[in-house]
C-alpha cells in the first residue's frame, strides 16, 4: 500500500531523512518510532505530498507521490503534528469544510460529519468554537478531520500527544477499529505506544532507518533485558572504579556496564542484562563477596536511547561517542 | 469550481467572524459619508449661488459629486487592501492550517482563486457602504446611472488587481504584519508614482505611469469604459495570481 525507496530529504543545513526504504502492506498499522528530530514528520510530509523529496521515490496505493499527487491526496487522511484547525470555526462546521475539501459531496457531508463526530466522541463539543477547546479535544478534531473521507491510508503524526490516559486508550481503540480496512502509519517517540497499537514498527534515528520489524519480534528482542543502577561506596580509594567495572562485566548475563557517576566517593554504574536474564541477585552477590559496600541496587527502565543502542549494536555506539569527543 | 466556492465561503466566514470586516466597513462608510456630505454641501451652495447670479450654467451631479467621490473611494481602497489580504495565506502558514489545504486533493489555483474571491467579495461589501450615499443622490437629483456603474466597475477592477498583489505578498511570509506592511508600501508606491509621473512625458515615466495601477482608474471615474483599461486590469490580476501560484510552489520546495 505504501512503498518508500531510498527516500532522502535535505534541508539547507541538515539531512532530515537519509536514504530510507520501507513498505507497508494493506491493512497494517505501522508505528514510526524515533527520538526528537529523527525525521518522522519530514517523512510523513513527503508521503502526504506536502513536501517534495530531494531523492528517492514514494508511492501510496500504487500512485507516485510526486507524479500523481492528486490521486495520492484523495486516498490519504493526514493528521499533522499540529492539528490544522481554524479557531474561529465550530467543530461541525470545520469538519464539513475539511470533508468537502477532500471531495465529499454536499449531499453526503452531513452524514459523514456525524459519523466522524461519533467515532471520535466529539458529540458534546460539536457546536463549540475550536479556539475554545482543550488540547485533547483539538487533537480529536484533528483525527476526525483525517478520517472523515474514509481514506485508504491514514498518516497520523503523534496522534496521542496532549491526551490524558483515558483519551489515549480511546484513541488506541479507535485506531484498532480503523485498522483492517485502513492502512495506518503513526509516529511517536513513546515505545509503549507502539506496543499497544501497532503490528509493525519502523525505527528511525537521525534520519536513518535503524530497525524494521514486527512488534512481536521487537519486544522479544527486548523482553526480559533489564537495566540495573548499582552504587558501590569505596573505602579509602578501594576498590578502584576499573576494578569494579571489570568484575561486574564478568557476571554472567551482563551485556554492558556503564560508569554513570564517580563523585563524592560513590561509584554509580548502569548494568544491562542480556535478554531473558535476571542479574540482580548475582550482581549483589558479586559485590558483597568482593567485600565492597553495596549502597544501592535498583532496576531502571530501558530508555528509547538504550533501545536504539541495543538495536544498532556497539559499533554505532562507539561512533556516537567518538563523535562527541 | 466547487472547491473555489468552498474556500471563498470559508474565507468570508472567517472575515466576518472577526471584527476586521465590520471595522473596515465602518471605517470606509464613515469616511465616504463625510466626503459625501462635504461634496453635496458645496454643490448645493454653488448651484444656489449660480442661480442667484442669474447664470444659467448647468450643474452636473455626475461631474461634480460622483466623480470626485469615486476618486476619493479609489484612494481609500489603497489603504483597505493590505488589511484585507495580509492574513490570507500568511496566517495559514503560521498556524499550520496550510497543511490541511496542501494535503487535500485541491489544486493550488483553486486555493488561490478561492481566497482572492473571498477578498474581492469583502472588498465589494466595503464599497457597498458607499451606495447608501449614492442612492440618496438618485432620490434627490437625476444623475446618469451608466457612469456610476462604470465607476464602480473600475473600483472593483482596481481593487481586484491590488488584492491579487496582496495575495501574492501574503504567500511569501508567515508574518501577517509584514505581509500587510509590504502590501501597504506597494499600494502607496503605485499611488505616489502615478502622481510623480503624471506630468512627465519621458519614456520611463510614461511606462511607470502606465503600469501604475491607479492611473487606469481615471477613465472609469469619468464614466468612460475603455477596453484597454479593462484588459490592463485583467492581465495584472492574472499575472499576480500566477505569481502567487509560483510562490506557493516554491513554498513547498523550501518549507
Ligand atoms: N523546515 C525545515 N527547515 C530546516 N530543517 C528542518 C525543517 N524541518 C525539519 N528540519 C530538520 O529536520 C530534522 C528532522 O525533523 P523532523 O521534524 O522530521 O523530526 P521528528 O522526527 O518529527 O521529530 P519530533 O519527534 O521532534 O517531532 C531535524 O533535524 C529538523 O531540525
Ligand atoms: Mg515530528
Query: What global pTM score does this model have?
Result: 0.82
Find all residues with CB under 8 Å of A321, minimum gap 6, and list them: none
> CB–CB of B95 and A82 under 8 A?
yes
> CB–CB of B100 and A88 under 8 A?
no
Hey, what's the cell of A166? Answer: 483515558
The closest-lying atom of ligand 1 relative to the alpha carbon of residue A158 is 27
pLDDT in tens, chain A (325 residues): 899 999 999 988 889 999 999 999 888 899 998 888 889 999 999 999 999 999 999 999 999 999 999 999 999 999 999 999 999 999 999 999 999 999 999 999 999 999 999 988 899 999 999 999 988 899 999 999 999 999 999 999 999 887 888 888 888 888 888 877 889 999 988 777 777 778 888 988 888 888 888 877 776 666 566 778 888 887 776 778 888 888 888 888 888 888 888 777 788 888 887 766 778 888 888 888 888 888 888 877 665 566 666 665 544 444 444 444 3
The CATH number corresponding to A2-220 among 3.40.50.300, 3.10.20.600, 3.40.50.2020, 3.90.1150.10 equals 3.40.50.300
Kindly state whether A55 is in contact with chain B, defined as any CB-CB distance less than 8 angstroms: no
Buried-state track A21-42, b at ≥16 Cβ within 10 A, e below 16: ebebeeebbbbbbbeeebbbbb
Q: Judged by CB atoms within 8 Å, which residues 233-272 of A form the interface with B?
A: none
CB of A232 closer than 8 Å to CB of A280: no
Q: What would the pLDDT profile of B224-244 be if each residue is shown by its tens digit? A: 888 888 898 899 999 999 999
CA of residue A181 relative to chain centroid, distance: 23
Instruction: Name the segment(s) of chain A with CATH classification 3.40.50.300.
Output: 2-220
The response to whether residue A227 sits with its C-beta less than 6 Å from ligand 1 reads no
The response to whether residue A36 sits with its C-beta less than 6 Å from ligand 1 reads yes
Centroid of ligand 2 to alpha carbon of A204 (angstroms): 12
| Closest residue on chain B to A49 (Cα) | B103
Please choose, from the candidates A221, A295, A296, A228, the residue with its C-alpha nearest in 3D space to the C-alpha of residue A257: A228
Hey, what's the cell of A92? Answer: 461541525
Q: What is the pLDDT of residue A151?
A: 93
Which of A16, A44, A50 should be substituted to probe chain B, the one whose Cβ sees the most B Cβ atoms within 10 Å? A50
Query: Which residues face A24 on adjacent strands?
Result: A2
d(CA B110, CA B87): 18
Instruction: Look at strands A208-214 and A153-157 and give their pairing.
Output: unpaired
Buried-state track B232-254, b at ≥16 Cβ within 10 A, e below 16: bbeebbeebbebbbebbeebbee
> In what helix (H) or strand (E) does residue A314 lie, and over which residues does it extend?
helix A304-324
Find all residues with CB under 8 Å of A265, minimum gap 6, and list them: A233, A234
> CB–CB of B100 and A84 under 8 A?
yes
Q: Which residue's entry shows cell 510614461?
A: B206
The response to whether residue A45 sits with its C-beta less than 6 Å from ligand 1 reads no
| Closest residue on chain B to A70 (Cα) | B105
A51 contacts in B (CB within 8 Å)? 252, 255
Q: What's the CA dihedral at A252, A254, A259, A261 to 10 degrees?
A: -90
The yes/no answer on whether domain A225-299 falls in CATH 2.30.30.30 is no
The response to whether residue A200 sits with its C-beta less than 6 Å from ligand 1 reads no
d(CA A153, CA A155): 7
Instruction: Look at strands A183-188 and A29-33 and give their pairing.
Output: parallel
Based on its alpha-carbon atoms, the radius of gyration of chain A, rounded to whole angstroms, reads 24
The closest-lying atom of ligand 1 relative to the alpha carbon of residue A44 is 18
Q: What would the pLDDT profile of B54-98 be if each residue is shown by its tens digit? A: 665 566 767 777 888 888 888 888 889 999 999 999 999 999 999
d(CA B254, CA A50): 11
Mapped onto helix, strand or coil, the DSSP state of residue A293 is: strand
How many Cβ pairs within 8 Å bridge chains A and B? 67
> CB–CB of A98 and B100 under 8 A?
yes
Instruction: Name the segment(s) of chain A with CATH classification 3.30.70.3190.
Output: 225-299
> CB–CB of A70 and B105 under 8 A?
yes
What sign results for the dihedral spanned by CA atoms B137, B140, B145, B147? Answer: negative
The closest-lying atom of ligand 1 relative to the alpha carbon of residue A9 is 12
Nearest CB partner across the interface for B99, out of A52, A80, A88: A80
Nearest CB partner across the interface for B6, out of A51, A78, A100: A100
How does the average pLDDT of chain B come out, rounded? 86
- The pair phi, psi for residue B234, each rounded to 5°, is -60, -40
Nearest CB partner across the interface for A50, out of B14, B18, B103: B103
Question: CA geometry: angle at A239 spanning A237 and A242, to 5°?
Answer: 110
The response to whether residue A41 sits with its C-beta less than 6 Å from ligand 1 reads yes
Q: CA separation (Å) from A103 to A45, A263, A276?
A: 20, 64, 52
Q: Judged by CB atoms within 8 Å, which residues 72-91 of B form the interface with A?
A: none
d(CA A87, CA A276): 51
So where are chain B's domains? Answer: 2-18+60-254
State the DSSP code for B214: G
Which of A74, A84, A138, A150 should be substituted to probe chain B, the one whose Cβ sees the most B Cβ atoms within 10 Å? A84
ipTM of the complex: 0.87
Amino acid at each position: 500500500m505504501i512503498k518508500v525507496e531510498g527516500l532522502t530529504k535535505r534541508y539547507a543545513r541538515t539531512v532530515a531523512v537519509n536514504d530510507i526504504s520501507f513498505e507497508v502492506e494493506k491493512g497494517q498499522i505501522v508505528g514510526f518510532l524515533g527520538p526528537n528530530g529523527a525525521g518522522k514528520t519530514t517523512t510523513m510530509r513527503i508521503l502526504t505530498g506536502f513536501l517534495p523529496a530531494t531523492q528517492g521515490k514514494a508511492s501510496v496505493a500504487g500512485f507516485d507521490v510526486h507524479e500523481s499527487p492528486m490521486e495520492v491526496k484523495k486516498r490519504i487522511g493526514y493528521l499533522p503534528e499540529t492539528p490544522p484547525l481554524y479557531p474561529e470555526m465550530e467543530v461541525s462546521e470545520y469538519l464539513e469544510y475539511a470533508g468537502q475539501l477532500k471531495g465529499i459531496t454536499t449531499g453526503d457531508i452531513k452524514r459523514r460529519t456525524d459519523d466522524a463526530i461519533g467515532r471520535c466522541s466529539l458529540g458534546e463539543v460539536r457546536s463549540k468554537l475550536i479556539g475554545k477547546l482543550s488540547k485533547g479535544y483539538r487533537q480529536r478534531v484533528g483525527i476526525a478531520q483525517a478520517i472523515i473521507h474514509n481514506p485508504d491510508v491514514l498518516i497520523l503524526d503523534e496522534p496521542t500527544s496532549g491526551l490524558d490516559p483515558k483519551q489515549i486508550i480511546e484513541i488506541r481503540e479507535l485506531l484498532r477499529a480503523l485498522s483492517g480496512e485502513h492502512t495506518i502509519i503513526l509516529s511517536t517517540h513513546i515505545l509503549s505506544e507502539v506496543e499497544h497499537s501497532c503490528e509493525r514498527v519502523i525505527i528511525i534515528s537521525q534520519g536513518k532507518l535503524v530497525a524494521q520489524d514486527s512488534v512481536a519480534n521487537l519486544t522479544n528482542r527486548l523482553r526480559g533485558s533489564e537495566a540495573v543502577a548499582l552504587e558501590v561506596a569505596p573505602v579509602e580509594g578501594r576498590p578502584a572504579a576499573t576494578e569494579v567495572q571489570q568484575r561486574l562485566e564478568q557476571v554472567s548475563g551482563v551485556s554492558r556496564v556503564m560508569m554513570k557517576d564517580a563523585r563524592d566517593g560513590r561509584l554509580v554504574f548502569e548494568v544491562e542484562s542480556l535478554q531473558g536474564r535476571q542479574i540482580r541477585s548475582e550482581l549483589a552477590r558479586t559485590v558483597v563477596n568482593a567485600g565492597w559496600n553495596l549502597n544501592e541496587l535498583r532496576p531502571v527502565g530501558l530508555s528509547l536511547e538504550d533501545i536504539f543502542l541495543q538495536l544498532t549494536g556497539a559499533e554505532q555506539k562507539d561512533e556516537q561517542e567518538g563523535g562527541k569527543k | 469550481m466547487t472547491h473555489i466556492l468552498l474556500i471563498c465561503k470559508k474565507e468570508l466566514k472567517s472575515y466576518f467572524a472577526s471584527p476586521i470586516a465590520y471595522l473596515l466597513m465602518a471605517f470606509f462608510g464613515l469616511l465616504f459619508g463625510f466626503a459625501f456630505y462635504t461634496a453635496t454641501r458645496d454643490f448645493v451652495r454653488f448651484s444656489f449661488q449660480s442661480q442667484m447670479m442669474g447664470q444659467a450654467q448647468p450643474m452636473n451631479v455626475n461631474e461634480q459629486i460622483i466623480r470626485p467621490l469615486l476618486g476619493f473611494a479609489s484612494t481609500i481602497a489603497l489603504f483597505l487592501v493590505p488589511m484585507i489580504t495580509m492574513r490570507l495565506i500568511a496566517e495559514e502558514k503560521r498556524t499550520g492550517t496550510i497543511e490541511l489545504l496542501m494535503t487535500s486533493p485541491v489544486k493550488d489555483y483553486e486555493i488561490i482563486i478561492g481566497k482572492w474571491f473571498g477578498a474581492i467579495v469583502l472588498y465589494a461589501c466595503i464599497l457597498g457602504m458607499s451606495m447608501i450615499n449614492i442612492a440618496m443622490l438618485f432620490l434627490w437629483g437625476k444623475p446618469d446611472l451608466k457612469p456610476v456603474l462604470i465607476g464602480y466597475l473600475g473600483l472593483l477592477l482596481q481593487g481586484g488587481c491590488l488584492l491579487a498583489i496582496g495575495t501574492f505578498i501574503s504567500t511569501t511570509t508567515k508574518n501577517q504584519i509584514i505581509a500587510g506592511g509590504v502590501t501597504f508600501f506597494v499600494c502607496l508606491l503605485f499611488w505616489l508614482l502615478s502622481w510623480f509621473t503624471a506630468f512627465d512625458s519621458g519614456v520611463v515615466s510614461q511606462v511607470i505611469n502606465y503600469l501604475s495601477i491607479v492611473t487606469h482608474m481615471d477613465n472609469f471615474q469619468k464614466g468612460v469604459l475603455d477596453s484597454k483599461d479593462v484588459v490592463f486590469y485583467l492581465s495584472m490580476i492574472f499575472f499576480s495570481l500566477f505569481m502567487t501560484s509560483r510562490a506557493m510552489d516554491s513554498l513547498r520546495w523550501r518549507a
